[in-house]
Amino acid sequence: MGLLSVVAAAVAAWIFGAVWYGIIGKQWMEASGLTEETVNRKHPAPYIVSFICTLLVAGMTRHIFSGSGIETVGAGVISGLGLGLFVAAPWVATNVMFSERPRSLIWMDGAYPTIGMAIMGAVLVLF
């Protein structure tokens, strides 16, 4: 696992995010209080920042995998899934609850890091 695996894992998870929010976009915007008119899809900052954040997560996940001896696709998927479900998603749930946003955002925004990190885990061990 090296730099190429980190970049590939970040790209894969980032693309999954685009697909995920493309699928649930209308429900997510409604729960977030947004409309097509209030969302500026042409502004690149959210896309750039989200990719940088995904790259950071992939780098740290690679570090964790290397230190833990995770080397198979199965172990990568399970470990990524575990990190997403038991590390990232609880932070999402906490944020949603304290910001008094609709609870439906917990599953919408919590599924992204959970599934995204499972994908990331698979890609990290493949390269």
- Class of residue 37 by CB neighbours under 10 A (exposed 0-12, middle 13-18, buried 19+): exposed
The greatest distance separating any two alpha carbons of the chain, rounded to the nearest whole angstrom, comes to 48
What are 51-87's pLDDT values in tens digits? 999 999 999 999 999 999 999 999 999 999 999 999 9
Is the Cβ–Cβ distance between 57 and 13 less than 8 Å? yes
Count of domains in the chain? 1
Q: How far apart are the first and last CA of the chain?
A: 6
Q: Model confidence at 1, in pLDDT bands (50, 70, 90)?
A: low
Sign, CA dihedral 57-7-32-77, equals negative
Q: Model confidence at 41, in pLDDT bands (50, 70, 90)?
A: confident
pTM here is 0.92
